[in-house]
Structure 1
Amino acid sequence: MNDRPATGRPAFRFTFDGAPVEAEAGQSVAAALIAAGHRSWRRTRTGGEPRGVFCGIGVCFDCLVTVNGRPGRRACLVEAAPGDRVTTQEGAGHDDLAC
């Protein structure tokens, strides 16, 4: 991995569903996932339909991911950080909680 990509910003890695993803300082999780070829990272509660970035500005909730165990994070607003563990979110992301 280059320490400095073409933009000159330092590069680092986080994982998405266990696989490494390269990102640049200041890049959102969504931008890094798209750059790595991922187009969806959430499934809807009903129907299990794939979702990814829709609005890209934090208005909708299509890009929800789980970051470091915290579900419901909008990937377009969360800045990627070295060592983050990002996982696909199934539905509301609280399936393990008793209701």
Structure 2
Amino acid sequence: MTGSNAGQFIRLGETHRAQIEIRIDGESVPCLAGDTLLTAMLLNGRLLRHSEFGDGPRAGFCNMGACQDCWLSLGSGERVRACTTEVRSGMVVLTREAS
């Protein structure tokens, strides 16, 4: 990726894993089997969510499931931590509440 579509992170290794696709807020996003949801989002230049307390965009914090900063909703309504949830092909992710 280049320009404004460049991710915040760049994958340097483990490129041999199978490529899969998930949907984030209706947009198709490529990732690799075994990635966490946090990894997939940051590699694709996405923030995780906007704070419900009005203090701006969030991109995770501890990366190990302790800080509670990366909760997202799946299309099924289930809430998951992006840093500890492995992507699944066809996964539907919502970064904001349905309006």
Query: TM-score of the superposition, structure 1-length normalised?
Result: 0.75
SS at match of 2:96: strand
- Is the CA contact 1:42–1:62 (under 8 Å) kept in the aligned structure 2? no
After TM superposition, list the pairs within 5 Å mapping 1:80-91 onto structure 2: 80-90=87-97
> Is 1:60 equivalent to 2:56 in the alignment?
no
Q: Deviations over 1:20-74 (max 9, x none)?
A: 1111111101101111111x22222221621121111111111111113335311
Partner of 1:45: 52
Number of equivalent positions? 87
SS at match of 2:22: strand
Deviation at 1:10, TM superposition (A): 0.6
Higher strand proportion (structure 1 or 2): 1
Gaps of 5+ in 1: 1-5
Gaps of 5+ in 2: 1-13
Q: 2: CA distance between counterparts of 1:34 and 1:74?
A: 14
Q: 2: CA distance between counterparts of 1:48 and 1:60?
A: 16
Which of 40, 44, 47 in structure 2 is aligned with 1:36? 44
Q: 1:34 is matched by which residue type in structure 2?
A: L
Deviation at 1:7, TM superposition (A): 1.8
State the identity %. 31
Partner of 1:9: 17
Higher Rg of the two aligned structures? 1
